[in-house]
Amino acid sequence: MNQSSPLRIFLLDDHPYSRVATVDLLRLNNYQIIEGETPQTGDCDQVVEQVGKVAPDLVLMDVNLVHHNGIELCQAIKHSPLGQKIPIILTNAMDDPQCRLLSRASGADAYLLKPLERVELLNQVDLLIQKKKLAESVTQIEQVLFRLAAVVEERYAVGEAQITCSQLVQGFGQFLQLEQKQIDDLMFAARLHNLGLLQVPDEIMLKQGPLSPPELDCVRDHVRVAATIFEPLAGRRAVGEIMLYHHERWDGSGYPDGLKGKQIPLLAQIFQIIDIFTALTNNRRYKEAVNTVQAVEILQEEAKRGWRNPDMVDKFVNFISKSQMG
């Protein structure tokens, strides 16, 4: 492997012969091996601390350590702030189906039988490390996108937001008993849905009075710009869908594709109501905020006009009433 610095593997194996054999196999691919120590106290925290200090690219650990249970150690590492994103391979000399299940439940990324076979071990190590590096790259990209979205918000916001989109998304998502992945996607959209407005000039966004047809087209195009940004991020495609369709209307008169009723993705239906409510209740450079009662009345009026899902608006009003926001 052509790396400027060797990739590091934290190895924990109390069996001398097995440990030496594993080190020899790993060095065939020029990995740097850091051999961990298993404290006689059986304290998981000490091992977690070692992993945190080393910050390896991967942990390779035997299930049957002298003073530790490798499955419990794996779980402790995965639950630690520094260790949760580090891939872990557990090894065992016995093919125990129950142990395999427990390993998976503990968060282990792979389970290999001893004696370790060279091709299988190196392929698995390489695959998991590349997945880790890819995840790190995606995380860095997401952080850049968050900052760009914050820049957009700063261009048009006035003062501190009384109620943020993220706060409402979290609360309303739980109120609707959505799955955590759905809430996560909504939270992501809450932070990034206006990213496409980067391409809209200030003279259009801050214009007082009605927009001309070309200006209106420019503003409306921001949803496609935002959705396009997310196309390469496979794990966030639902977020791109929310961004693309949260300006559709229940009666089909929205944009960009004129979707109608249940053609509009559920998360986009939910998000558009939250987006409208927060836009109404927060000051912008081009408009003043209204209070919560007025914002609710506007949403209910839009539902009567056929623009919003009336059932979803009713649920949101119920949520606002129970949460006593504003």
User: What's the rounded Cα separation, in Å, for the pair 195 and 199?
Assistant: 9
What pLDDT is stored for residue 275 in this prediction?
92
What pLDDT is stored for residue 225 in this prediction?
85
What pLDDT is stored for residue 320 in this prediction?
92
User: Which candidate, 26, 17, 27, places its Cα nearest to that of 60?
Assistant: 26
Q: What is the CATH number of domain 8-134?
A: 3.40.50.2300
- Alpha carbon dihedral 234, 239, 264, 312, in 10-degree steps, equals 140
Delimit the domains of the chain by residue range: 8-134, 157-323
User: Which candidate, 153, 128, 122, places its Cα nearest to that of 275?
Assistant: 153
* DSSP for residue 62: E
Beta-sheet pairing, 8-12 with 88-92: unpaired
* DSSP for residue 196: G
pLDDT in tens, 9-43: 999 998 889 999 999 999 988 899 999 887 766 67
User: What's the rounded Cα separation, in Å, for the pair 285 and 54?
Assistant: 49
Separation of first and last alpha carbons in the chain: 58
Q: What is the CATH number of domain 157-323?
A: 1.10.3210.10
Quote the tokens at residue 77: 């590492």
User: Which candidate, 237, 247, 234, 45, places its Cα nearest to that of 131?
Assistant: 234
Backbone phi, psi, residue 112, to 5°: -120, 145
Asked if residue 250 lies in contact with residue 309, where contact means CB atoms within 8 angstroms, the answer is: yes
Beta carbons within 10 angstroms of residue 39's beta carbon: 14
What pLDDT is stored for residue 326 in this prediction?
44
User: pLDDT tens per residue, the chain (326 residues)?
Assistant: 444 678 999 999 988 899 999 999 999 888 999 998 877 666 788 889 899 899 999 999 999 887 788 999 999 999 988 888 899 999 999 888 899 999 999 999 999 999 999 999 999 999 999 888 877 776 776 677 777 767 666 666 555 545 678 889 989 999 999 998 899 899 888 888 777 787 888 888 878 888 899 998 988 998 888 888 777 665 677 888 998 999 999 999 999 999 999 999 999 999 999 999 998 988 776 678 889 999 999 999 999 999 999 999 999 999 998 886 44
Quote the tokens at residue 143: 């952080």
Q: Going by C-beta distance under 8 Å and a sequence separation of 6 or more, which residues neighbour residue 70?
A: 12, 61, 62, 63, 64, 90
What pLDDT is stored for residue 132 in this prediction?
85
Q: Residue 78: in which H helix or E strand, if any? A: helix 70-78
What pLDDT is stored for residue 38 in this prediction?
76
